[in-house]
Amino acid sequence: MIFNSYTFIVFFIIILVLHNLPFSWKVKKINLLLASYIFYAAWNPPFILLLWLSTVIDYFVGRALYNQENVAKKRLLLVVSLIGNLGMLCFFKYGTFLLENFTSLVNLMGADFHPAKPNIILPAGISFYTFTTLCYTIDMYKKESKPVKSLLDFSLFVTFFPHLVAGPIVRPPQLVPQFEIERKATKKQLYDGLLLLSLGLFMKVVLADSMLAAPANDMFGSQGAVTALDAWTGVLAFCGQIFFDFAGYSTCAIGVALCLGFILPQNFNYPYAAIGFSDFWRRWHITLSLWLRDYLYIPLGGNRKGNVRTYVNLMLTMLIGGLWHGANWTFVVWGGLHGFYLWVEKFIDDKTGRITALVSSHKKTIAGFIYALFTFFLINITWVFFRANTFTKAGDILKSMFGMQKGEPLLSTLAIIKVAVIIPVMLLFHWIMRNTKVLDAAYKIPWWLLGIVWAVLLLLLIWSQESSSSFIYFQF
Amino acid sequence: MPTANLSKAALLMLFVVVVSLISWEYFWRHKGFGIAYNDDEGLWAKNRADVYQPLDKATVFIGSSRIKFDLDIPTWETTTGENVVQLALHGSCPRGALVDLGNDENFKGKLIIDITEGLYFGGWEDQRIKNRVKFYNDATPAERVSAKVGFGLESQFVFIDKELFSMSALLADLRIADRKGMRPDGIFPKKFSYTNFRRQETMTDEFAKDTAMQRQVTNLWSMWGAHSKDHGITGDTLQKIFTEAQTAVSKIKARGGKVIFVRTPSSGVYWENEPISHPRAEYYDKLVSVTNCTGIHFMDYPELKNFTCPEWSHLTHADAILYTKGLIKILEGQNWFAKRN
């Protein structure tokens, strides 16, 4: 089920009513769990079995990991959990990719190997819930938090529908304690939640789908070479589309959870106002960045093992982060480019300390703004690899962007105007809001203005009539 | 902000939204628009599910826009006592739908395939038909429920019509000039036609009378090649299309189904050029012959040949009723209807 569908509206109203009826807390939790399974099964019912398998294995293995004192047995249990979780992820997400690469490799070595192409369907959100369960078992192994007391609470932690399929990626201490005591949204939380849900849907449906998806899809799907204007318009459209799509989903998820009285972690913080790349990764898909930092970068040694290892760890983390997004080498290159930017930035910052000074200053300076624009420019280069299906296509687009080839006009004037209006406004908005939160800003305006802005968001949402396209990050 | 002020903001939001939507709905109704349905994947799939009716109960139609306009479903159903399942899609090549029905072991019914040569023999894979077939086969339970809720809303509100009143459609109405060398998007007059729940496309009476709107549409046809006399595809590409049709039709017939081809009327510049770009003997007649089917070409029957399409391609609603009656009469001669023969 997706948030921007009629089905979800009906589903959410029923859940909201059930959650506010005078049932016991346990019954309410069972309701939420069943609702979460329905939410997930509404895509592809058989895949619910994978979710159950992952939940049950990690619940029992997690407990055993926490209580086991024998180091060898403890390691064995961790390996079982890692194989279970990562094995499923590898099979469903990377099975075809691995086979294709293996085939290419053996054919390159002279063999004549042409296996049938497997038809593997990717279960929605598998990358997200795998990371959620993985962090639990690793925490149990390291005894960083206590085991979840009941299977019901653990199942709800893994499956809670607002975060299940596209995050935010939650850690056990962030969510499990919220299931232990009865929760019901306060009136203020309900309003905040509904406001965030409206904003998230507006970002997804109006801006991402109705305004930006078509120019991005047309440009990245074009057959021949395009002009520099078309190439830049398409790339900027995608940079806006992916932000509004994914940040819109996260905003909806946080809003929906808040309507039920639960608090999910923030996932985006005006990333296009980032001053530099370290800052960008503190603002873009925050819960994934933190996950990669805590469960990959730091275990690899982080910055504790000298400068060279720091650079290697940084690059490895970004390459794996790239691959997490999709089974294609273009995603690896996307991660690699970010790793390279982080290298250069770290090198300069280690020598001068100026970037840290710019980022840590809460004042918005001209230098900061210029560096933020430069960061935005370089991030757009990375989006080319993220969105293009092949390196040939990515190369073609980059050549067009930098005037290295001539092409045919592709996008309509209206499409160009849409991008030319939305992207600068988005950038300006990110810069103005850089150090604040959207709800804080909403509370500062008069109530009547908030009411009108809220109504405009909803009216544009209804008038756009884009009701059912999937979120881009579901495929990850 | 205090909670009381948030409540006030929420109430104001609700008031503005409700008043705006009522006004918006009233505005379009006042302009003469009625209830219509989005001809999307959900509506196509809903009708696709109806193809399994027995041989004596229904006829399935596939094709492009012409048969959607030209077949009047109420006339057909009241006259014959049998149902219509309309699966034709405007601007599309119906080959994907034919292959889908051919491969469906459970389809054993009657099928009429409307041929618009420029589209059927276009030689491209039609993604829109593919998307509809995919939706019918693979739509998630959530998508199916959403489609049903959508039908309910579309049956009540005029403004819920993506093609006419969505934000994108209204922005496109601004008709901002495009850059040199670009093929402009076609924007049809809003009063051209409407789609009902059974997927019949009906030309509005205003359009049938308004020559300015008709010229707007003929200009679009001209821009998209109505004047072209260039010969259609030949060689292997054409042969593949014949073979594909032959295979699909054989499968349907082998299961006990019946298949007939029709060529619905066109006029004006279209009818001047279609026989030149796609000579009948090389395309339509050959298709009918290789599939071993009957063909009903409008030029072969006095009751079908004298229609005029106001915009060269589709019949008015009044003529659609007459065309349907004429077609039924010819089909009776072919023993198409179990009850009436």
Chain pair A-B, CB pairs under 8 angstroms: 133
Q: Say yes or no for a CB contact (<8 Å) between B145 and A6.
A: yes
Contact check, Cβ <8 Å, B5/A466 = no
Chain A positions touching B1 (Cβ under 8 A) are 442-444, 447, 450
A5 close to B (CB below 8 A): yes
Phi/psi region, residue B175 (left: phi>0; alpha: psi -120 to 50; beta: rest), is left
pLDDT at A472: 61
Pick B3's closest partner by Cβ from A188, A408, A465: A188
pLDDT (tens, 9 = 90+) of chain B, 341 residues, equals 777 788 999 999 999 999 999 999 999 999 999 999 999 999 999 999 999 988 888 999 999 999 999 999 999 999 999 999 999 999 899 999 999 999 999 999 999 999 999 999 987 778 899 999 999 999 888 889 889 989 999 999 999 999 999 999 999 888 888 888 777 777 899 999 999 999 999 999 999 999 999 999 999 999 888 888 899 999 999 999 999 999 999 999 999 999 999 999 999 999 999 999 999 999 999 999 999 999 999 999 999 999 999 999 999 999 999 999 999 999 998 888 876 55
The verdict on A225 touching B (C-beta cutoff 8 Å) is no
Q: Of A412, A452, A460, which has the smallest distance from its Cβ to B182's Cβ?
A: A412
Please report, for residues A69, A83, A135, A383, B69, the alpha-carbon distance to residue A64 in angstroms, rounded to integers and kept in the order given: 9, 16, 15, 43, 68
CA dihedral A143, A144, A149, A152 (to 10 degrees): -120
Residue A95 confidence (pLDDT) = 77
Q: Do A455 and B182 touch (CB under 8 A)?
A: no
A190 Cβ under 8 Å from any chain B Cβ: no
Residue B340 pLDDT: 54
In angstroms, rounded to a whole number, what is the distance separating the alpha carbons of residues A128 and A425? 31
The answer to whether residue A424 neighbours chain B at the CB level (below 8 Å) is no
Given the residues A19, A163, A285, A325, the one annotated as active site: A325
Which DSSP state fits B92?
-
A7: nearest CB among B149, B162, B182: B149
Is there a contact between A34 and A18 (Cβ–Cβ < 8 Å)? Answer: no
Q: Are strands B193-195 and B58-62 parallel, antiparallel or unpaired?
A: unpaired
Residues 446-465 of A with CB under 8 A from B: 447-448, 450-452, 454-455, 458-460, 462-465
The chain B residue lying nearest A213, using CA atoms, is B168
Encoded tokens for B38 = 């989005």
pLDDT digits (tens, 9 = 90+) for A360-418: 776 778 888 898 999 999 999 999 999 999 999 999 999 999 988 988 888 999 999 99
Q: Is A420 on the interface with B (CB under 8 A)?
A: no
Q: Give the tokens for residue B66.
A: 């012409």
Nearest CA in chain A to B178: A413
User: Are B16 and A452 an interchain contact pair (Cβ–Cβ within 8 Å)?
Assistant: yes
Question: How much is the pLDDT for A473?
Answer: 59
Residues of chain A with C-beta less than 8 angstroms from the C-beta of B21: 459, 462
**pLDDT score recorded for residue B284:** 96
- Who contacts A86 (Cβ-Cβ below 8 Å, separation ≥6)? A130, A134
Give the nearest partner residue to A451 out of B9, B166, B181, using CB atoms. Answer: B9
Are B45 and B138 in contact by the 8 Å Cβ rule? The answer is no
pLDDT of A416 reads: 95
End-to-end CA gap in chain A: 16
Distance in Å, alpha carbon of A464 to nearest chain B alpha carbon = 5
Q: Which two tokens stand for residue B119?
A: 């589209």
Chain B residue closest in CA terms to A416: B178
The set of residues, in sequence order, having a beta carbon less than 8 Å from that of B254 and lying 6+ positions away, is: none
Closest among A179, A184, A115, A171 to A138, alpha carbons compared: A171
Q: Against a cut of 0.80, is the pTM above it?
A: yes
The pLDDT tens digits of the residues spanning A320-356 come to 999 888 888 999 999 999 999 999 998 888 888 777 7
Nearest CA in chain B to A450: B9
Low-confidence ranges of chain A (pLDDT < 50): none
Q: Which residues of A touch B149 (CB under 8 A)?
A: 6-7, 9-10
CA distance B244 to B126: 15
ipTM of the prediction greater than 0.90, yes or no:
no
- Facing residue for A414 by CB, picked from B21, B165, B172: B172
Contact A452 B11 (CB under 8 A): no
Closest-CA distance of chain A to residue B41, Å: 11
| Distances from the Cα of A62 to the Cα of A59, A126, A151, angstroms | 5, 19, 11
| Residue A325 bears catalytic tag | yes
Q: What is the DSSP letter of A208?
A: I
